Structure 1
């Protein structure tokens, strides 16, 4: 009997309104995180976005990584072997708390996705004129100049997609650029 009285007093008496609202908020927040679309109805009714959605970090998690490969063309028209432009570093335990180096990796992922979206909508030529493509070529020019490769007159890059840490899946080559001059105003 005493337990029933205690349970009833949770919903009556001083502070009952705050407890009920708090409990509803906690239950609503937990339900809003559930991946099943049935629970999305709760967020649809949340006009003022009171319930947090912690899925914004990865609503659809990445299932693959992008890798840049590049090769150069020298003054004698000799092509170098393909080299990997490494932007994804190995993980450390401290990165659970602090990981500012993740930004370049995220940028690569976003730029690759943008180039591919532009090409899907407008074709190969549209992709070559897009800002993300120009960003990639500018970055590679800067990298090659920083390496001191004076005899390089142009470069080509490729974009590969793999399954991240799953090494059993072969990478897919999804894009290969035409040769690009080191001097943007020059033609190869």
Structure 2
């Protein structure tokens, strides 16, 4: 009896994984009617891969933060994502995960803030991307007299004197707990 039950569970799991793979593969083509159905995937279980994106990234995304001391802002500082200029970067580059996470959270924050603008609500502050970026900013070292912290998402394009910066998002001030 136990062997039969194991075989049934094995077939059920294998069947589910095959179904999930098929749905995931079908999702890569994004047929028009499929988009409405994917709105019900609230847990994000059906992945969308873009190994060769049709719209390549043209901007670098930066998370910057500043502290408030006696109601005066300090200079903006960029979140430290680790050293990016190592000669081994082409083969071993663990920092790319942090920079990818910041870029993904910034993209999610852009969508959440657009949705919040439509409703006129401040719900963007409850979104996962906002809380993730806030957590990274708040986890940075705090100067002794600092009372609050604010973060911003900046997009940069180009290099050197021709580099352009664009403010994508500016958070509210978040006080530190006493």
Alignment-derived partner of residue 135 in structure 2 = 138
Runs of at least 4 residues off by over 4 Å: 164-167
Superposition RMSD in Å:
2.7
Select 1:117's aligned residue among 111, 121, 132: 111
Contact 2:84 2:95 in 1 (8 A): no
Q: Give the unaligned 5+ runs of structure 2.
A: 1-27, 30-48
TM-score by length of 2: 0.61
Give the whole-Å Cα distance in 1 for the aligned partners of 2:86 and 2:136: 27
Q: Give the unaligned 5+ runs of structure 1.
A: 1-42, 45-54
Contact 1:158 1:173 in 2 (8 A): yes
Give secondary structure in 2 for the equivalent of 1:174.
strand
Alignment-derived partner of residue 80 in structure 1 = 74
Give secondary structure in 1 for the equivalent of 2:122.
helix
Contact 1:88 1:105 in 2 (8 A): no
Alignment-derived partner of residue 154 in structure 1 = 148
- Deviation sequence 1:130-178 (CA, Å, 0-9, x none): 11111111222211xxx25232211111211111547524111121111
Alignment-derived partner of residue 90 in structure 2 = 96
Contact 1:67 1:86 in 2 (8 A): no
Q: 1:148 to 1:176 in 2, by over 3 A?
A: closer
Bigger-Rg structure (1/2): 1
Give the whole-Å Cα distance in 2 for the aligned partners of 1:56 and 1:175: 25
Select 1:70's aligned residue among 60, 65, 68: 65
TM-score by length of 1: 0.58
Contact 1:72 1:155 in 2 (8 A): yes
- Deviation sequence 1:36-85 (CA, Å, 0-9, x none): xxxxxxx97xxxxxxxxxx94342321111112211112x3232122222
Q: 1:171 to 1:102 in 2, by over 3 A?
A: same
Q: 1:168 to 1:58 in 2, by over 3 A?
A: farther
